[in-house]
């Protein structure tokens, strides 16, 4: 049977002859081929960016009010909910995520992000500054024009919303580039945008590899801002590539985040939070707290709690409602995670997991790794210092508050953290001491989309989410108005 070709999206339509289709898109749960994906070369990227630039400059888009743009986003959120089962099916094929996670978590979060920015669209305020009696000083915001949204493969729909919603709310046009392994969700999202009434060309999609398509997109002179979510190495490359044209760059990159559990914490809730953070989406989550730092006096007890519960996690066919953990989404990340495990098992204690998982047909050829708990992990080990991006949770012991903060901050990343204690003063003190963009105190993975995320250290630059995340899609302008016709304006040569 002939398989489909996944083509880029331009002016509200699929562009079937954009280029060669020689990359196979695979269902990670089964290993089956879903079809072939087109790769956009530099000329194809140029045509798609030109489409977005033209759509941005069109009078209807320029004259549309912020409230009207917000109304389009509200329709987009409504459409997502009306077509939720079709979207779930797309994501099942694209990412292999458990159907329960998609229905109860990812789709509601995506809609919430869109609705947040729909409501925020007309809430951007400029300001009047104090000046001389003969002048009025104004500061305001303007859209960049065409922005690029470069997406990771772990949460295609959520990340598309994270970039499209604030871009549209602020009046930009956007070209999305999904990860080559997961194009289906982004293409479906772009089609929903047009169906919601967003003018064709305002949301376009390029397809292909990072080295060819992505590079052409970030170097295109009409792309004035780049928002990227992905690995630190690629983020560093994008920042360097964008420097020559002085483009604004927003990067959310890697994380090696720590959850700190003190002896007085509610250990039952902390254990549940640790397992959710470490194993949701098979650990393929940048803000996941994959290091669990536990006070020595309760470490043995807490490790036993984690082990008992981790062994009950249901791994398997993502179409089963009872499944809690699905496959690794890409073959390359599957291999990377296994290489970390192979090295770690010789230096650490494996409390559970530690290898590949055998899943019955039709999932027997998927990318499956057992949820893994490691103890005896110490700073300096690769499994402690480097991001694995897989279902691996490392337990590290500490003796006091000072050592806990030192260990948590010892890595090169600073994306998120979590602190668990019943001592309110200590909780706030340690939360402030962590060098991270977000910290959860006695909770985990909550606060979205209202709370902003500002990565620290090698975790990135700029800000996403919250009102600050929307302002990141606007450039600032100051205007000085002279209102005193008798004020001198030059040398008086006339």
Give the pLDDT of residue 140.
96
Do residues 321 and 290 make contact, with C-beta atoms less than 8 angstroms apart? no
Give the pLDDT of residue 377.
96
Task: Please say if 464 is a catalytic residue.
Answer: no
27-58 tens-digit pLDDT: 999 999 999 999 999 999 999 999 999 999 99
Q: Nearest Cα to 187, choosing from 217, 168, 164, 166?
A: 164
Rg (C-alpha) for the chain, rounded Å, is: 24
Q: Specify the domain boundaries for CATH 3.40.605.10 within the chain.
A: 5-253+459-478
| 11 φψ region: left (φ > 0), alpha (ψ -120 to 50), beta (else) | left
Task: Please say if 286 is a catalytic residue.
Answer: yes
- Where do we find the tokens 């104090």? 130
Q: What is the mean pLDDT of the chain?
A: 96
50-96 tens-digit pLDDT: 999 999 999 999 999 999 999 999 999 999 999 999 999 999 999 99
Examine the pLDDT at 297 and tell me if it is beyond 70. Answer: yes
The structure's pTM equals 0.95
Do residues 339 and 297 make contact, with C-beta atoms less than 8 angstroms apart? no
Give the pLDDT of residue 345.
83
Give the pLDDT of residue 1.
59
240-273 tens-digit pLDDT: 999 999 999 999 999 999 999 999 999 999 999 9
Structure tokens that stand for 80 in this block: 């997502």
| Average pLDDT of span 23-29 | 97
Cα–Cα distance, 213 to 43 (Å, whole number): 10
Do residues 101 and 149 make contact, with C-beta atoms less than 8 angstroms apart? no
Examine the pLDDT at 305 and tell me if it is beyond 90. Answer: yes
Examine the pLDDT at 386 and tell me if it is beyond 90. Answer: yes
- The answer regarding whether domain 5-253+459-478 maps to CATH 3.50.50.60 reads no
Give the pLDDT of residue 347.
86
Examine the pLDDT at 137 and tell me if it is beyond 80. Answer: yes
Do residues 30 and 362 make contact, with C-beta atoms less than 8 angstroms apart? yes
Cα–Cα distance, 198 to 242 (Å, whole number): 28
The count of other CB atoms within 10 Å of the CB of residue 215 is: 17
In CATH, the number for domain 258-441 is 3.40.309.10
Q: Which of 40, 193, 286, 348 is catalytic?
A: 286
Give the pLDDT of residue 131.
86
Cα–Cα distance, 196 to 59 (Å, whole number): 19
| Average pLDDT of span 141-149 | 98
> What confidence tier does 494 reach under pLDDT thresholds 50, 70, 90?
confident
> What confidence tier does 488 reach under pLDDT thresholds 50, 70, 90?
confident
343-356 tens-digit pLDDT: 988 889 999 999 99
451-484 tens-digit pLDDT: 999 999 999 999 999 999 999 999 999 999 999 9
Give the pLDDT of residue 291.
98
Q: What angle do CA 340, 255, 216 make, to 5 degrees?
A: 95
Q: Which of 181, 252, 303, 464 is catalytic?
A: 252
Go through 33-61 and write b for each residue having 16 or more CB atoms within 10 A of its CB, e for each that does not. Answer: ebbbbbbbeeebbbbbbbbbbebbeeeeb
177-226 tens-digit pLDDT: 999 999 999 999 999 999 999 999 999 999 999 999 999 999 999 999 99
Q: Nearest Cα to 25, choosing from 39, 43, 14, 13?
A: 39
- Dihedral angle at the C-alpha atoms of 292, 297, 301, 307, nearest 10 degrees? 20
Q: Specify the domain boundaries for CATH 3.40.309.10 within the chain.
A: 258-441
Examine the pLDDT at 17 and tell me if it is beyond 70. Answer: yes
Give the pLDDT of residue 283.
96
Examine the pLDDT at 360 and tell me if it is beyond 80. Answer: yes
Give the pLDDT of residue 492.
81
Does residue 449 have a cis peptide bond before it, meaning omega lies within 30 degrees of 0?
yes
Give the pLDDT of residue 130.
87
CA distances, 25 to each of 21, 31, 145, 207, 491 (Å): 10, 10, 32, 12, 68
Cα–Cα distance, 464 to 449 (Å, whole number): 9
Give the pLDDT of residue 3.
85
Cα–Cα distance, 55 to 437 (Å, whole number): 35
């Amino acid at each position: 049977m002939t398989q489909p070709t996944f083509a880029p999206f331009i002016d509200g339509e699929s562009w079937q002859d954009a280029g060669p289709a020689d990359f196979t898109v695979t269902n990670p749960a089964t290993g089956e081929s879903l079809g072939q994906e087109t790769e956009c070369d530099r000329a194809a990227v140029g045509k798609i960016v030109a489409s977005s630039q033209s759509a941005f400059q069109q009078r209807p888009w320029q004259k549309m009010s912020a409230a009207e743009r917000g109304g389009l986003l509200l329709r987009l959120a409504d459409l997502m909910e009306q077509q939720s089962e079709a979207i779930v099916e797309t994501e099942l094929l694209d990412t292999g995520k458990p159907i329960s996670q998609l229905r109860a978590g990812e789709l509601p979060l995506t809609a919430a992000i869109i609705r947040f920015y729909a409501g925020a669209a007309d809430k951007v305020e400029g300001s009047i500054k104090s000046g001389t009696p003969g002048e009025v000083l104004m500061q305001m915001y303007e859209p960049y024009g065409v922005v690029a949204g470069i997406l990771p493969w772990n949460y295609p729909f959520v990340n598309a919303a994270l970039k499209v919603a604030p871009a549209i709310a602020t009046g930009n046009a956007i070209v999305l580039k999904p990860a080559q392994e997961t194009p289906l969700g982004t293409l479906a999202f772009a089609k929903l945008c047009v169906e919601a009434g967003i003018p064709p060309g305002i949301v376009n999609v390029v397809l292909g590899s990072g080295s060819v398509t992505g590079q052409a997109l970030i170097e295109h002179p009409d792309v004035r801002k780049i928002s990227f979510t992905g690995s630190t190495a690629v983020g560093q490359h994008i920042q360097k590539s964008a420097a020559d044209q002085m483009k604004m760059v927003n990067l959310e990159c890697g994380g090696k985040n720590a959850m700190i559990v003190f002896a007085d914490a509610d250990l039952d809730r902390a254990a549940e939070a640790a397992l959710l953070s470490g194993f949701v989406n098979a650990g393929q989550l940048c803000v996941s707290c994959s290091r669990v730092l536990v006070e020595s006096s309760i470490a043995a007890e807490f490790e036993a709690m984690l082990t008992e519960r981790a062994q009950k996690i249901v791994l398997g066919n993502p179409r089963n409602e009872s499944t809690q953990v699905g496959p690794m989404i890409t073959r390359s990340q599957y291999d990377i995670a296994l290489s970390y495990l192979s090295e770690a098992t010789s230096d650490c204690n494996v409390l559970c997991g530690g290898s590949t998982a055998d899943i019955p047909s039709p999932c027997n050829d998927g990318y499956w790794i057992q949820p893994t708990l490691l103890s005896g992990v110490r700073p300096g080990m690769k499994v402690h210092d480097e991001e694995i991006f897989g279902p691996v949770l490392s337990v590290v012991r500490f003796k006091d508050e000072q050592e806990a903060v030192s260990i948590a901050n010892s890595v090169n990343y600073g994306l998120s953290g979590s602190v668990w204690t019943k001592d309110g003063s200590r909780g706030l003190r340690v939360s402030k001491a962590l060098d991270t963009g977000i910290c959860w105190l006695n909770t985990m993975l909550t606060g979205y989309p209202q709370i902003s995320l500002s990565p620290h250290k090698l975790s990135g630059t700029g800000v996403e989410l919250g009102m600050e995340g929307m302002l990141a899609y606007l450039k600032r302008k100051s205007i000085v108005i002279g209102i005193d016709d008798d004020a001198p304006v030059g040398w008086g040569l006339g």
